[in-house]
Amino acid sequence: MAGLTEGNKAPDFKLKTTSGETVTLEDFKGRPVVLYFYPKDMTPGCTQEACDFRDSISRLKKKKAVILGVSPDSVEMHQKFTKKYDLNFSLLADEGAKVAQAYGVWKEKNMYGRKYMGIVRTTFLIDAEGKIKKIYPKVKVDGHVEEVLNDL
């Protein structure tokens, strides 16, 4: 995880949201942040994960949590994904994968014998002071949102 461990200060970032505005981690200080990195919009696992967060938004908001999904897709692709699945939280466009690299989730992957760089599905639970409370490496989508809710 790029040397990141629980208790570390989470790396700040500056990324565009689905609506085109630019946000930083600092903008959410005072609230817990669920920062989840996923490989690609419109793919089965990523769609299920986004829809699971969407369907749990009221429970997450009761805990004052902010949900932010991050992938290397463009703002335009995030807008299509958000519209198609009626997502009710922001997706952040990490074009160039600089934030994914800062969080240590941009790694070499291997599919059908082909090696390429991509995001390893990982979630960071960041506390109200900006420290990493929990890291969920190599996330299995089924049951993940429940796990996050229990740890908030």
Residues noted as catalytic: 46
DSSP, res 116:
E
Q: What pairs with residue 140 in β-bridges?
A: none
Give, in order, the Cα–Cα distances in Å from 147 to each of 24, 45, 88, 131: 25, 17, 20, 19
One-letter identity of residue 86 = D
